[in-house]
Amino acid sequence: MIVVELMGGLGNQLFQYAAGKSLAYKSKSELYVDARFLMNRNVESRKVTYRNYDLDIFKINPPLAAASASLRYGISASLVFRPVKRLFNRFINAGPLQYVAERRPYQYDVQFGDLTDNVYLSGYWQSTQYFQAIQQQLRAELQFAESIPAYASELAEEIKSNLSSVCVHVRRSDFINNRRHDVVPPVYYQEAEKLILARVNSPTFYVFSDDIEWCRTHIRFCAPTVFVGDEWAGNRAQLHLQLMTFCQHFIIPNSTFGWWAAWLSPGLNKIVVVPKKWAYVHQSFIGSDELIYPGWLTI
């Protein structure tokens, strides 16, 4: 069996699922997900944003790992025991599963290629290389569980039929004053607009955000712009994500939510603009190199 630990929001969960699924395909095994830490509402932390299990917005239903596996290998809710447990799992690998922790974020770990069956994965696994081999299978699996509701059908058809539609994703909320991530400034979107205007005839920009009112004030484009408000988000932002995938082109921030919208879009000739600086780790910026495909543009 392959067990992958879930952490973070939907975008993070998708990267973790994709890495685990890739290893499960390779080892001809079944993938289990460990959501025990994700759903724990008593996590000791100086600052924590609680997340929910969100993979079920897609037509996938990976079985949950047994509580024994979660207790043995999963992250502890205690700040005191969390690092101790990680070190124990890493250096005293005596259980039924091989514990594999991500060694460096946002960069493919070569140890992953040597893994086979009976593995517990702990990390974010944010590199396209982890699931490059199963892209087609993954796209076939990641179909939205719910169809577009009637009240959003007109907007959905408008976006689908517009061959010059550009999804603009603006991530704020928990990224404000975040030590690892930072809010992409308005100048990024201005520079991204120039790249789009040079390549797309008569674009229409569709702005999606967790702070749409801020966007109405601070995001300005020279072309027609539609601000897609919270009423189109759905109870878990799944409708926002689905509408975003209908766009032809993308301007995304350093957000996995926006990244997956671009990746899930079926367009073959899509233009995707991505920030060069993705995260700030150990007092240095980590680039988005591991997350971009040929033809994607960086600023």
Q: Does residue 186 share a domain with residue 84?
A: no
Q: Does residue 292 share a domain with residue 156?
A: yes
Q: Does residue 166 share a domain with residue 269?
A: yes
Q: Can you read off the two tokens belonging to residue 284?
A: 């240095």
Q: Does residue 209 share a domain with residue 185?
A: yes
Task: Name the residue type at position 194.
Answer: K
In this structure, what DSSP letter does residue 79 have?
A: T
Q: Does residue 270 share a domain with residue 239?
A: yes
pLDDT at residue 286 is higher than 80: yes
Distance CA 174, CA 87 (A): 29
Q: Does residue 154 share a domain with residue 294?
A: yes
Per-residue pLDDT, 156: 98
Q: Does residue 170 share a domain with residue 126?
A: no
Q: Does residue 188 share a domain with residue 59?
A: no
Residue where a domain terminates, one of 87, 111, 141: 141
- Region 105-125: mean pLDDT is 94
Please name the residue ranges forming H helices in the chain.
10-27, 36-39, 67-73, 81-91, 135-141, 153-161, 186-197, 212-218, 238-245, 256-264
pLDDT at residue 78 is higher than 80: no
* % of the chain residues with pLDDT over 70: 94
Domain CATH number, residue 221? 3.40.50
Nearest to 269 by CA among 251, 290, 295, 242: 295
Query: pTM of the predicted model, to two decimals?
Result: 0.93
Cβ 250 vs Cβ 258: under 8 Å? yes
pLDDT at residue 85 is higher than 80: no
Distance CA 180, CA 280 (A): 5
* % of the chain residues with pLDDT over 90: 76
Q: Does residue 107 share a domain with residue 192?
A: no
Residue where a domain terminates, one of 141, 161, 194: 141
Q: What's the total number of domains in the chain?
A: 2
How far lies 87's CA from each of 84, 92, 181, in Å? Answer: 5, 8, 26
**pLDDT single digits (tens) 234-268:** 999 999 999 999 999 999 999 999 999 999 999 88
Q: Does residue 176 share a domain with residue 115?
A: no
Q: Does residue 292 share a domain with residue 185?
A: yes
Per-residue pLDDT, 79: 63
**pLDDT single digits (tens) 33-57:** 999 989 988 877 766 778 899 999 9
Which domain covers residue 239, as residue numbers? Answer: 150-298
Q: Does residue 69 share a domain with residue 42?
A: yes
Residue where a domain terminates, one of 114, 141, 168: 141
